[in-house]
Amino acid sequence: MTYPLPPSPVHQRQWLVAGELRHWGGPVRDVFSPVLNGGQPTPLGSFPLLGEPEALEAISAAATAWGKGRGVWPTMTVAARIGCVERFLTGMIAVRERVVETICWEIGKSRPDSEKEFDRTVAYVRDTLAAVKELDRAGSRFQQVEGIVAQVRRAPLGVTLCMGPYNYPLNETFTTLIPALVMGNPVICKPAKYGVLLLEPLLAPFADAFPAGVVNTIYGQGKTVVSPLVASGGIDCLAFIGTSRAADAIRRAHPKPHRMRCVLGLEAKNVAIVTASADLDLAVRECLAGTLTFNGQRCTAIKLLAVARPVFDAFAARFTAAVDRLVVGHPWTKGVGVTPLPEPDAPERMAALVADAEAKGARVLNTRGGRLDATTFFPTVVAPVTPGMRLWHEEQFGPVVPIAVYDDIEDPLAWIRDADQGQQASIFSRDPAEVAILVDGLANQVCRVNLNSQCQRGPDVFPFTGRKDSAEGTLSVSDALRAFSIRSMAAARDTPENRAILGDVVLSHRSAFLSTDWLF
Ligand code: G3H
């Protein structure tokens, strides 16, 4: 792969509100790529820094589309909503190349991983549309129980604020935005601080595919645009991927927090336990991908390795050699494994975490470890990491791999029990008795135990969630549809008169809710 010329800067001056691409003449934020050009960050353009009035305009547009549940979007048939999403998807696929290249430039993600993010998102949207049809079909029937005849369907929640993260700015944003939309919730989308311009090519397809006010976008400082939205009391559902601290602050701003359903993907500190019986070559391979894919900037990344003392030396030697073989380069470098970090303060933050561990008795194990070159931090393996060190409990979200050593299998289980996070864990073992102990010891601490494989979200049909500070609500192709809806039912005493009324309503197609139509 060749290294492309820097793109022409995109100076985004538009925001989408009430079905219009509105021009913005106010302050903007400049965007620079972490990929350097002549030693300097490459300018990529700029985007609007909207104010409170614009945020309130977005909520008013979304509230109109919601119409207290009687608006154009929640009352539209599921088939028609699916049609809107399909139209959007066609527009999205048409701008694939621009989006993929902007992901590379804006957040430094490798070209193959950026392509994967786009294509996985398209597949997720298609799978969501298939799942929503299934859900609608399941609700297109009556049930007769204990003298009551009823129809149960899933209904939308209301105005939904979607806030995605910078590391999967397209995929993670769309895994909440699309299910929320297709279930009938109008959406206000606020991108993260980094990874904004890659969504710009999608504004026109959004405007083209959805009725006015169904999709709105806002940009700017959280305090300026998010706080007033939530404080207005007009947000019925919050989909947020980020830290629990930020999620708590947003929720507290709501005048009636219990009225805002929260679907949250938060911090994680996934541990991989490498036991004495592990296949070390396999463990090294999986732990390498698990810790350092996209520089460790995945919520699902393995963020602490717990290695049994008898195999520590052998594992550490093979693992550090593999880490030092990773290709450091640009998103377009052939076989690249480590790329520049999009957060300007990330390299210093990584260096500070390593320095803290070193000051408390750990050392850097690999040759290139600790090297910092402008926006790139070389992957760094640190051991032995112990409870007093920041790397023990802080989510590093970068290319630093802490290793702790354990003597008793109960030790890592206790560490995980005491941790604030509870998303996933990996275990590496060839001993069925040990596997049973570990799976049982972890299943009530985390929400996915990966045997002889790295932690990961996919395949997207599996439930993605976490305990403690790691998540609220469950996402997957089908679970997300449930997360952004609530069951609602119409029920009647099962009398001949009521049956006749219900039969008439259904046969005359007078009601969208009371219907047994099959969605093809
Ligand atoms: O940051 C979290 C992403 O959803 C990671 O997804 O584990 O499938 O790579 P993944």
Give every CB contact of residue 122 below 8 A, 6+ residues apart in sequence: 89, 92, 93
Q: How far, in Å, from the CA of 494 to the mean position of ligand 1?
A: 48
- Residues 305-348 have pLDDT tens digits of 999 999 999 999 999 999 999 999 999 999 999 999 999 999 99
User: For the segment 349-387, what is each residue's pLDDT rounded down to a tens digit?
Assistant: 999 999 999 999 999 999 999 999 999 999 999 999 999
Strands 363-364 and 380-383: antiparallel
Comparing CA positions, the residue from 350, 217, 337 lying closest to residue 285 is 337
Contact 339, 353 (CB under 8 A): no
Largest CA distance in the chain: 82
- Whether 2 has a pLDDT exceeding 60, the answer reads no
Pairwise CA distance, residues 353 & 267, whole Å: 17
**pLDDT at res. 1:** 43
* 3-class SS of residue 18: coil
**So what's the pLDDT on residue 264?**
98
Q: Is the pTM higher than 0.95?
A: yes
Query: What is the position in ligand 1's atom list of the atom closest to the CA of 165?
Result: 1
300 within ligand 1 shell (Cβ under 6 A): yes
Q: Which of 119, 453, 457 to mutate to test the pocket of ligand 1 (most atoms within 8 A of CB)?
A: 457
Q: Are 403 and 362 spatial neighbours (Cβ–Cβ below 8 Å)? A: no
pLDDT tens per residue across span 250-286: 999 999 999 999 999 999 999 999 999 999 999 999 9
Segment 77-105 mean pLDDT: 98
SS3 assignment, position 57: helix
Residue 299 Cβ < 6 Å to ligand 1: yes
- Cα 117 to ligand 1 centre (Å): 10
pLDDT band for position 3 (cuts 50, 70, 90): low
CA distance 242 to 244: 7
Ligand 1 atom at minimal distance to the Cα of residue 293: 9
Residue reference for tokens 């009823």: 150
Taking alpha carbons only, the member of 285, 272, 276, 314 closest to residue 430 is: 276
Q: Tokens 């305990």 sit at which residue?
A: 467
Q: Which of 299, 423, 460 to mutate to test the pocket of ligand 1 (most atoms within 8 A of CB)?
A: 299
The answer to whether the CB of 266 is under 6 A from ligand 1 is no
459 lines ligand 1 (CB under 6 A): no
- Sign of the CA dihedral 280, 285, 288, 289? negative
CB of 167 closer than 6 A to ligand 1?
yes
DSSP lists the bridge partners of residue 383 as: 363
Q: Which atom of ligand 1 is nearest to the CA of 171?
A: 4
Distance between start and end Cα atoms, the chain: 43
Closest atom of ligand 1 to 301 CA is 7
pLDDT for the residue 131: 98
SS3 state of residue 502: helix
Q: Is 279 exposed, middle or buried (0-12, 13-18, 19+ CB in 10 A)?
A: middle
172 CB less than 6 Å from ligand 1? yes
Q: What is the mean pLDDT of residues 55-64?
A: 98
The three-point CA angle 450-451-455 to 5° equals 30
388 Cβ inside 6 Å of ligand 1:
no
pLDDT of residue 5: 77
Q: Considering the chain, what percentage of its residues have pLDDT values greater than 90?
A: 98
pLDDT at 7: 82
Cβ atoms of 412 and 437 closer than 8 Å: no
Q: What's the mean pLDDT when you consider all of the chain? A: 97
CA of 403 to the centre of ligand 1 (A): 22
pLDDT in tens, 198-239: 999 999 999 999 999 999 999 999 999 999 999 999 999 999
Residues in the chain: 520
